[in-house]
Structure 1
């Protein structure tokens, strides 16, 4: 057997390994080029834009905006204007000033302006000037400005191939001299620890750009590469107009403790770039990009690419987990796993980006997950179709047990169509056979089991599944018959295997009476099955439930008795009174007539009410809860107080001070106590006494009701709790009643696991004792 099925198992496993290997190779290749994926860039931009945060209030931009151009004049302005601005800022307590204005050439027409600006830079003492690189060569401020500045920082941006500014290098320069980014230089000048080494970002000492294609071209080295975690759209940071600062409109105290950036924001000056939070439709000013870098360094929120190994491990792990799920799970669960892994990959990438500052591009992994599912499903579907075609062809060649009309094969068809035709015929035959057998078994109204020669269940109908399923049997097929029938009690206590063998030996059905744990009565019918050689091959076991029939018969008899006698008697009396009223000489007075009609109507209502209450007591709809028997007895006494007062019956109570906790149905227990008290009052002479006591018992509570009434004859005690049983002591008047009250009490006490007993002496009174279990608490 192992040699026969080994190739079938190796085939799918080999296909799975091959496809998994191909997908892993493709995943590695895609992860190598992920930086060039425009969809990944767009996803990165969307997530950066969604993670907007409040701008750092310590960063202020002095904007060279359109209002300033209108008031001061066309750009470029005389450098004396910048000198005046820096002179005003020098009188504030700004921590650092970043002047994002290129000062690479001297003003030969107005040399005095250069001297004034250099003096203002030197007097301020906290000014950082910008530099940039062109063709691998640094472009610095003039020597005078460089000497006056507190620091010099580069303002180069890293533009991706789509023209969007997403990242910067925090340090750039030649092999002999490097410059920090302007934001880093400002933090160093301000003396803030966030700006001190080590700088964040990915180390790229080898990212050198030649100034030209010449072999001896200079190198431009870049290091500490970070992605900018933009805090919001353009205009997110606090801005004041250049002209307002220059004319003193902005108070000096506004700049205290601030990092001040001076730069152009006017659209016509050209210093603006597309960013992830602005796109191509609305560019962000370069000075505001520097503000975002400055904010990221202060808040330690710089974003870097995760190590390539981390992204590769995540992708390979997700693909392997998905392929393992495809191999062992059903297609629906496999699809759910694919969706879950894709969502988890996206969520992990988003959380790592926004919480940890690590960018792991998720789209290659998601793409391979989406591709893996249809590829594997296609391979498995093709294998299934091929296997089914072979098996249906073999099935079609076997003898047909049921008559059928064979459909003609298509005259012109390809291989797939012929396989479909064979599969169609085989499916029809299998469906007809299954329907034939299943309908035959399911049509049986009783629980039916078909067992094999090993006495294990082969087939079960719906009724059997329902009955045994309610008793915890989740799977009937393959279950030993003895285990399923072990809960049925037999009068003879015989073994079920013995009955099965009797059915084989007698070659005729064997019927056994049994009862389950719920008190239901069954006739278990066992029929042996034989093959053509008269060898036993199994049994048909049928459980015929007869408990409902017996219960229905009992209830029918009681109902008929109730309707034919108890209910009919007062109604007949009412009809007789109505007939009597037709004759003047025998007619009763209206008062007497109404009194008697009311009496018979009350008796009818009392009968109906007692019958309904008894029916409810016999049902299973009990609402058990924690109750106090002492309080229930007091409630019952309140209900019978009027009747006791009318007959001048005194009622004494002896109750526990701490109550008598028990568990039961509050309404039914109260009604039972009312019935006992009513009987004690009705069957006692006026001016008698009734004593009610509740006392602890070994396993619960003992509630007793003792009266000084007429007593009950000794020969009536055995039938006292039967339905419709009524007894009156000799020489006493019948106080009336339905004969259902004590039957109701007996039923309620039994349902609560208690015991009801009675002792009585004619002429001295009766004592009813109710023993109930105490509450578990």
Structure 2
């Protein structure tokens, strides 16, 4: 392979590898930790200002010290809600899950207190995984509280792979209930503003996770749960506030890592306060869609890949560092438009592609020089001793010196090739792509005093091929009538010899087609032997069939008795033997020539032909057609004979007055449509010894046959050969209910199959 082509393929391989790596990293989010780290640093540049209307009511250490260990009684919450009802806040979010019933009177009192507050919303929670194999369980407040609340919203947190909460989903779909549960904070926003949030309206899928900005730690106004419940907070301080109630004490387990840069955690209720701020400001950062992320991640890599063909190495390394900086700046710029470009995959693509391409380019150059040196040594018969190296050098320089020495020698192999081709035992000539003869061996040159060099291919064929076979040779060369099994064409020469002509391509070292070799093998003796074989088969068939046909003609019309029946049976057996023998011989020596056949019609015709035989023994042949008019591609004569053999055997081995069942149906084999034909009798079945050699030649077991004439063992062998020739399968087995069953499976005709599709 030439160096230019090798480098092009190496470049393409590097491009595909880098693209696949970038696409895989983008799809699998394998570098999400690095992306998250970059996002955390960028988001810390400009922290948002928290909304002034948010007031967090904390279940803190002071509240636990005042009221005792968690959980508290319902009465504690009643006291708080009664205080809130007087304060008249704008909306209340209670981030405590009350999914287990308590004392009925306490539950009723709490429900009454909840109902006394306007726009008080309770949480529900989704537990993963769910019980009893469910994907998740929905934990809702108990029924009295659920009825008393203004609404119920989910409070599940979206935790990234590094365990940090950066994202939030404004709803969660409950697949079992076929409904979406908005987030508790989304419901509070709707209660205050009487409409869904702009972020919610824009989302095609409200379950999409959005990156939310976090305000500085401690920037939200908060009061202690106990202080508020005991009336220590002025009620005017609550008016028109959005109250968020939740646990902040460390021992209550509602603390989560957040991207604040100080390594600390934040209570769930404070995270929800930040979520409300993001909803109110409408400053969620939306991750780019996968196609957008993939395109922008691949862009720097492909800029560098294209530059490899245009820039010098110094320019390429400068551009590489510039692209790394551009990727980071793009993430910063897009964040100003509330879009997030995860930069890690793009950075890896740029960092990966430069060294890999440098390595593959150097390796390709080194391999090219090695290959040329090896070709030189292989093709040289007598190479002079090469000059010694000038001194120790690196591998590449050494290869360059050896290549310089090698290409200074003459590689003269033309005479050797010419001698080898000229002395071939059969005629051979080579043509170029324009059909001009460029080389002729000695036998092909015989009788051409004017020479054959640059002779047109048609003129060359005119000197060898008889006019009657010339068209067939041209069709073979034009690839219009090339045989399927044997890639050659037979023809008779002008002097009566028979040749098999084969054409092969002449391809250069770099895989480019340069011409064709035409080889003419003398098969005169083989062709004559084949012709004699066919004549013998015809003679044998005629000499075996004619006397038996005469016998059957003489017996026709005579009064049947035991002797005439035996004579007729022997005559019919001999006819069947002749048909099977000749059929087997022709199958093995002829090409398959199929045509579309309605299989049910052919089987029915074979069955009808055996009616006299079945009727004589009071045997009923039932044909059940479930094939829906299935067509196959086959040879009618041999298939017809095969089904006659199978049905004849079934009649032969069935008891007097029995039944032969023939079933045709469409089936599927290896995910391809086929049609099957089963022939079952009610005989005693086949012996184990016979089952192992059913389709071998001369295998026969007539011990159970209801006939005085023993079979020759060619019928099933003929059937197996025919079915195999049609690309099908046949099997024989004993049925549990008694008797033998043979099943033939054949592929549907391709044309019919495509029409059905």
Query: TM-score, normalised to structure 2's length?
Result: 0.46
TM-score, length basis structure 1: 0.45
